[in-house]
Amino acid sequence: MLTRTAAIAAALVAVCAGRGQPTAAPGFEVASVRQTAPDQTQTRRRATVGADRIEFHNVTLWYCLSFAYGMKSYQMFGPDWLRAARYDIVAKGPAGTRREELPKMTQTLLAERFNVQAHEETREIPALVLTVAKEGPKLKEAAPESGDGQGGAQVGMSASESGGERLDVKGGTMTTLVNTLTGLLGRPVVDRTGLSGRYDFVLDFSRSETAGPNATGGYNEPPPLPPPPPGAEPGLSIYTSIQQLGLRLVGQKVPVKVLVVDRAEKAPIEN
């Protein structure tokens, strides 16, 4: 009886000790991390996120951090080289890996190979608030068949030789608009219109107003538009275009969760 009691007590101690151990960070089963070859750094970025793997080619560490932590570029702060140095990263998770686990696994990979140390905090940063103008909205309600054919919005972008840009939205919501403006302008745009419908609208704007390379480059963000050609006309301001829809953009600081990169090594631990 005494022996059995001792065995049970030992088992309980082991269970409690196990519960006290920190859970291991999720990681990839195999990973290849290399600096992009010099003759490949001018090629187009290629990135694939699969069910259990990532394949990033010619990407910056900024891009990887954005994917790993679920942040937009305007939410990230760190040294300038994070946007410049290029890497090829291919990593596969163990059997049973789910796609939603890949960002956390990428955090572990970046800590192991680049010695990334980062923390999250809340900062007040410049934003734009989208509101309805005094005269009310001037938006065209979208027909039921308008959009991408699957209940979502269809968003098209075209450019003129003079350097102007045109955004053509079919079946878009205000969420569609603020998300698109956030990508174009490189800072958060907050919807406070109270409008819940779906609309067709066009926005003409000057390419010089877009975010540029210093405000883009994160995961799932549009690439920076090229600068307008020399001698191009300024074009219509995006703020004026917004007013033509019976809306307006007002500058304001808002509290936003951000990622601060405290440390990272430019030369990774390779394979």
Q: Give me the phi and psi of 155, to 5 degrees please.
A: -120, 120
Q: What does the chain come to in residues?
A: 271
Alpha carbon of residue 127 to chain centroid: 16
Angle (CA) 63-66-71 rounded to 5° is 150
pLDDT of residue 170: 94
Q: What is the pLDDT of residues 64-118, one digit of tens each?
A: 999 999 998 899 999 999 999 999 999 999 999 999 999 999 999 999 999 999 9
Strand, coil or helix: 240: helix
Domain range summary for the chain, segments of one domain joined by +: 2-118, 124-258
Q: Confirm if 64 and 76 have CB atoms less than 8 A apart.
A: no
Nearest CA to 269 among 41, 31, 73?
31
Nearest CA to 244 among 129, 165, 133?
133
Nearest CA to 170 among 190, 152, 197?
152
pLDDT of residue 193: 97
pLDDT of residue 229: 65
Which amino acid would we find at residue 83?
A: R
pLDDT of residue 152: 85
Alpha carbon of residue 87 to chain centroid: 18
pLDDT of residue 12: 47
| Residues in the chain where the model's pLDDT stays below 70 | 1-24, 160-163, 211-215, 222-234
Strand, coil or helix: 57: strand
Q: Confirm if 254 and 123 have CB atoms less than 8 A apart.
A: no
Nearest CA to 239 among 100, 154, 155, 131?
131
Angle (CA) 159-161-167 rounded to 5° is 15
- The helix/strand count (H/E) of the chain reads as 5, 12
CA dist 110 and 269 (Å) reads 10
Q: What residues pair up with 88 in beta bridges, in sequence order?
A: 34
